[in-house]
Chain A
Amino acid sequence: MFSQIVTNIKVNLIFYRRNRLVFVASLFIIFMLVLSSIPGLLFMTKSKHVEIIRLVFVELSRFATILTAGLGLLFMSHHIRSRSIKMVFTKPCLPETWLLSGFLSGAIVCFSLYIIIFLLTSSLFFIWDVPFQWGIFYMTVNEFLQALIVFSYMTFLAVIFHPVAAVFFAFLFQEGVLYYGKIVLSSGIKAYNAGILTSVLQFLKVIVDIAYLVLPSFKPFSAEMSKVYSSLRLTDAEWDYLFLAFGYTFFISALFYLLSDYFLKKKRLI
């Protein structure tokens, strides 16, 4: 099984490396990133260095998260839609093994991306002769964990939906949107205190509440970790929450791995 995992990981990494869509998406995101960062980099004052480093880190992390989500979606939908998956499952390689390799490949790419981000942002401290802040390390680990959640979620969605529908679903049913929905529905229920409309709103709120509980949080414990994100100081870091985030990521990834496996086996792979 181990050798099969290694074999699959190697092939998945070739897939990512040679995929034009990934390449074009990376170029586009980097271009947008550079375009949005240039003014800040050119017209900054010395005192703004730390703020710029923080912004660069946040932007790069956002880029890495989007890319990782895309990788999960692309990996699964490509292999299902091109039907190459049946060449794997007609060999003594279980869907569990193949799927695990897929998750691990995603984690490797994601890990590499965050090492690059860490090195890039760290180098800015030295370039601008600003005292290095280890909070960057803490934030990198946290962002890496968040990207893993997004990757697992998108991989799972790609098993059950068409990729376009999966993206639509991911955008529509996310923590922030649902939270906003909860607030709007609660206000609505308060405003219309009786009648059919209230019942409808209450019913909708139950659904939204369930969805809010069931769907994963892409940024767990973000409020608890906000201090280090604004100061970049390790002294502001809440290590307990990072460990909790690690546990949450592991749980969510394992859950979506099992769900992906279940639905993949249910699919007619022809």
Chain B
Amino acid sequence: MIKADNVTVLFRNGFLKKAFKALDGFSVAVEEGDVFALLGPNGAGKSTAMYCFLGLIGPDSGRISVAGRPPFPGSGMFSEVAYLPEEPHYHLYLTVEEAVKYYADLFGKGIGRQKVVDAIDRVGLTEFRDLRLSKCSKGMKQKVGIAQCLVTDPKLIFLDEPTRGLDPITVKEFRDILIEMNKKGATIVLNSHVLSEIEMICNRVAIMNRGRVIAQDELNRLRGLNREVYQVELDRSDALPAFIEVIMKTQSTVKGEIPCDLLKDFIQFADVAGLKVYECSLKKVSLEDAFFSILKDGE
């Protein structure tokens, strides 16, 4: 669906200043039906990558294709694309309804007023329909952005920090909308700093740093990366095997961690030694743990 191959984007501030590489050999592949997240610290190049996908920035080198074609502004490719920008760069002189209608009309599909009204209603802006965007709060503008994504039944959705400025209720509703759209077949590409949000909806993640993708995989695999362990607590013993990494010792018990693949050995050891096991639970690695670990490894 989307393919970026060794893309480099340079930003220059003035003629004499040295160019800054916003993307440096950026390569990524998004399959149809994915909910794909670009993850990374500030300045990693996530938004730049998204602008490249949208054709708003042309790469200095490398290739990008979206639905098999190189993207360029306003092309036919966009008839099945929805984009929610990070900053509310909307036509602020329009009212909520005018803006959603305008963006819908640009598709030239003859989208009726009712569909526009329904989309506005769905994001909870019905009573602010006639309010100019310049007078709307940031959260309301973000909802307008969501509404304009909803009216066209897109097949490919680009979301740049989609839940920024939204209240928790709207975040939940928006998440449900995205999951519903994905079930209907939409491919979603998003970038976000909210790791819990990504864990909830994404199936694939690319972790970026300094313009490069340093890890890219299925979320479950990326989160795991063979770092999952069992947390155990057992009777204190002075002859513990080496694979138990002791975390804490009390007068009567020992707390420690063992690698997943040595669980059988652990049970056998406890059985032979006659030690009572109080706890043995799988300690899952969160995306946050994985993210920091991968970033650290990457550096």
Q: Which residues of A contact B (CB under 8 A)?
A: 1, 3-4, 7-8, 11, 14-15, 18-19, 82-84, 86-95, 97-98, 265, 268-270
Contact = CB atoms under 8 A, between A and B. Distances in A.
A86 B89 contact: yes
Main secondary structure of the interface of B (DSSP, over half): loop
Nearest to A15: B93
Given A84-B92, A90-B81, A268-B56, A95 B74 contact: yes
A97 B78 CA distance: 15
Contacts of A19: 93
A97 B108 CA distance: 12
Nearest to A88: B106
Contact of A7 (B47, B77, B106): B106
A269 B102 CA distance: 19
A92 B76 contact: yes
Given A86-B85, A87-B103, A11 B78 contact: no
A92 B107 contact: yes
A15 B92 CA distance: 9
Given A3-B105, A4-B105, A93-B106, 19 more contacts: A4-B108, A11-B91, A11-B98, A14-B98, A18-B93, A19-B93, A84-B90, A84-B91, A84-B92, A87-B83, A89-B73, A90-B73, A91-B74, A91-B78, A92-B75, A92-B108, A94-B75, A268-B51, A270-B56
Given A4-B105, A4-B106, A86-B56, A92 B74 contact: yes
Contacts of A1: 108
Interface in B1-54: 47, 51, 54
A11 B95 CA distance: 11
Interface in B76-134: 76-79, 81, 83, 85, 87, 89-94, 98, 102-103, 105-108, 110, 132
A82 B89 CA distance: 6
A109 B145 CA distance: 30
A270 B57 contact: yes
Contact of A14 (B47, B55, B94): B94
Best-buried of B76, B103, B110 by chain A (most CB within 10 Å): B103
A184 B92 CA distance: 48
Contacts of A86: 54, 56, 85, 89
Interface string B156-193: 00100000000000000000000000000000000000
A86 B87 CA distance: 11
Best-buried of A86, A88, A92 by chain B (most CB within 10 Å): A92
A92 B105 CA distance: 10
Best-buried of B79, B93, B94, B98 by chain A (most CB within 10 Å): B93
A90 B107 CA distance: 10
B89 A89 contact: no
11 contacts: A4-B106, A4-B108, A7-B106, A18-B93, A84-B92, A86-B54, A90-B56, A92-B77, A93-B106, A265-B73, A270-B47
B143 to A, nearest CB: 15
Contact of B89 (A3, A18, A87, A265): A87
A11 B102 contact: yes
B187 to A, nearest CB: 16
A201 B117 CA distance: 67
Nearest to B110: A3
Contact of B51 (A15, A95, A98, A270): A270
Contacts of B103: 87, 91
A11 to B, nearest CB: 5
A91 B154 CA distance: 11
B89 A84 contact: yes
Contact of B78 (A14, A90, A98): A90
Best-buried of A89, A91, A94 by chain B (most CB within 10 Å): A91
Contact of B57 (A8, A11, A95, A268): A268
